[in-house]
Chains A and B, each alone.
Chain A
């Protein structure tokens, strides 16, 4: 068992190695270090801070259960992100029957919520609300690409979607965002 003060000075690979052998304070240190990063990703995906925090907790619990099977300490960040994405996708499947679509299908691009009325956009650029009009799989690809700066192949690794689907989701998601933003009163479009 390592003291929190010692852990704070260790690099992440060492802390992960300790957590992999069941050191609970080491895992707590990992939560402390990674929580803001993971919660921010999930907040962008959900658009709901409370839900995002709950999903982030589920992701960390999954991490605790599976960290012993993690092959490399260096891979912890990508692995945690993959867990978070899958926790979110599971949540979407459970709570939004409209999203039970094949992510490879073109239908997945269709909005699952009503597009914002032009009057709702009057208060200025509201990208969060525009993002909320995207189907979950599309929003996921957009967020991972533009918020997290991931390449297409990295998104494939995290989501398990085929590369063609990822490219298509990003391209068509951008087009849809452009349409929604252009529909704002006073926009040039």
Chain B
């Protein structure tokens, strides 16, 4: 009996196979593709503009950060000299982490502050 149902299914699906007209459907699909491409371009352009604006707003802070980083080797050397006398190697690494963490936190806070000002 099940094979009878199988035969019916095969015959039904074969007879129900239609050659559907392509033109209207293809036009509709390509309209969706065009809309998708337009949206993608708008999003990409917006993202690029936002990135440029954020970098422009953060430029002074980035410059300060670079200057601070430029002065970092001197600080590190002094810390290293101290470490010879007072600090263990592990505590020197902790100080370096602290210095880097404070700088990263400062940059992050400035970025968030600018976001709040611009996008709130």
A binding-site residues for B, Cβ under 8 Å: 24, 27-28, 31-32, 35-36, 39-40, 44, 53, 56-57, 60-61, 64-65, 125, 127-128, 142-143, 146-147, 174-175, 177-178, 181-182, 189
Contacts and interface: CB of A to CB of B under 8 A. Distances in A.
Given A35-B25, A36-B20, A125 B32 contact: no
6 closest Cβ pairs, A-B complex: A147-B13, A146-B9, A36-B20, A127-B12, A60-B29, A32-B22
Given A178-B5, A181-B5, 6 more contacts: A35-B26, A53-B25, A61-B32, A64-B33, A177-B9, A182-B1
Contacts of A128: 12, 16
B2 A174 contact: yes
A178 B1 contact: yes
Interface string B75-93: 0000000000000000000
A177 B3 CA distance: 11
A143 B2 CA distance: 15
A139 to B, nearest CB: 11
Contacts of B8: 125, 127, 181
A174 B28 CA distance: 36
